[in-house]
Homo-oligomer: A and B are copies of this chain.
Amino acid sequence: MNFTLKVLGTASALPIIDRYPSAQVLDVRGRLFLIDAGEGVQVQMRRAGVSFLKVEAIFLSHIHGDHVFGIFGLLSTMAMLGRTGKLEIFAPRAFGPVLKFFMSYFGEGLNYEIEHHPLLMKEPEKVYECKNLEVSAFPLNHKIDCFGFLFRETEPQLNVTKFEIAARGLSLAEIATAKRGEDIIREDGTVIPCAAVTYKPYEPRSYAYCSDTAPFPELSEWVNGVDLLYHEATYPEEMADKAAQRFHSTAIQAARCALESGAKRLLIGHYSSKYPDLSIFLEEARTVFAETELANDLQVIDIPLKKL
């Protein structure tokens, strides 16, 4: 029942020695989702112990090199390792020619299907669902088409308390009715309100990925109440002008988004290579949002199940 983020890369565009460019894996109860694929993603997956064959879908925020140049090696390696399962890739329209190029010149021997779902939405839209999980995508505010992703567990089925089953002598049919969220109506006309005998076993968990983006007002609504918010923070405040000009955010802007959205925790990353010491990012963000953490390569963040 895990819900675990594995951070693979936290650098921005210019290469640095000790950080890879953007890439993350979200593991939801053993289902693996790759988010962005900067150069070297496959080596970082090896380091993080992520199976190449178990990745079900890839979500690419935008088609800038530092978020996508690792896809070629990754797709090739999946082929060499004998992947046969279909791979779904959710990515902006601009990924179309990238995939076509790859398939034309490096796709020989690929024994699995790749389906590109172009992201075109102007507001949040569900793009993927599987048991217990839904993923929606939403536009960000970057120089080119760019999208964020919200991974959210679906509402769990209600449980009926053992005490109520015994006390009220609930039949199997009545239990099933209550689990569906419906009130129980007995033959004699008695109504047992669903709420009186059931409880939600846990709170659905959620993770939002927002990179790259300048701030914009709708974003905090779109990621409202998320358990963990990853928000890029390319620059500290002294570079706010450059951030605006390049459609990026400062650490404080990321923190404001977290605060306004009511996120539980904030993870910042995508640091400019000009700052080998990241403490300025953390200090600035925490002036606005205390529950901020710096993202680091190979960091593992588990969001535990909140039993109710």
Question: Which of A's residues lie within 8 Å of B, judged by CB?
Answer: 13-17, 39-40, 42-43, 46-47, 63, 65-66, 69-70, 72-73, 76-77, 80-81, 94, 97-98, 101, 104-106
Q: Which residues of B contact A94 (CB under 8 A)?
A: 105
Q: Which residues of B contact A106 (CB under 8 A)?
A: 65
The 3 lowest CB-CB distance pairs between A and B, nearest first, are A101-B101, A15-B42, A39-B73
Closest residue on chain B to residue A39 by CB atoms: B73
Q: Which of B66, B77, B97 contacts A14 (CB 8 A)?
A: B77
Taking the closest CB of chain B, its distance from the CB of A68, in whole angstroms, is 9
Max chain B CB contacts within 10 Å: which of A15, A47, A70? A15
Q: Are B39 and A15 in contact (CB under 8 A)?
A: no
- C-alpha gap A47/B17 in the complex (Å): 6
Taking the closest CB of chain B, its distance from the CB of A14, in whole angstroms, is 6
Taking the closest CB of chain B, its distance from the CB of A49, in whole angstroms, is 11
Q: A17-B46, A42-B15, A43-B17 are in contact. Are A65 and B69 (CB under 8 A)?
A: no
Taking the closest CB of chain B, its distance from the CB of A167, in whole angstroms, is 58
Q: Are B69 and A72 in contact (CB under 8 A)?
A: yes
Q: Which residues of B contact A104 (CB under 8 A)?
A: 97
- C-alpha gap A247/B80 in the complex (Å): 16
Interface of A is mostly: helix
Closest residue on chain B to residue A11 by CB atoms: B43
Q: Are B73 and A69 in contact (CB under 8 A)?
A: yes
Q: Are A46 and B16 in contact (CB under 8 A)?
A: yes
Q: A63-B105, A97-B105 are in contact. Are A15 and B69 (CB under 8 A)?
A: no
Pairs across A and B, CB under 8 Å, 6 listed = A13-B77, A39-B43, A39-B70, A65-B73, A94-B105, A97-B101
Closest residue on chain B to residue A81 by CB atoms: B14
Taking the closest CB of chain B, its distance from the CB of A135, in whole angstroms, is 26
Taking the closest CB of chain B, its distance from the CB of A300, in whole angstroms, is 17
Q: A39-B40, A40-B39, A43-B40 are in contact. Are A73 and B105 (CB under 8 A)?
A: no
Name 13 extra pairs, CB < 8 A, besides A39-B69, A66-B73. A13-B77, A14-B81, A17-B43, A39-B40, A39-B43, A39-B70, A40-B40, A65-B76, A65-B106, A69-B69, A94-B105, A97-B101, A101-B101
- C-alpha gap A13/B80 in the complex (Å): 9
Taking the closest CB of chain B, its distance from the CB of A206, in whole angstroms, is 31
Q: Are B15 and A73 in contact (CB under 8 A)?
A: yes
- C-alpha gap A46/B13 in the complex (Å): 14
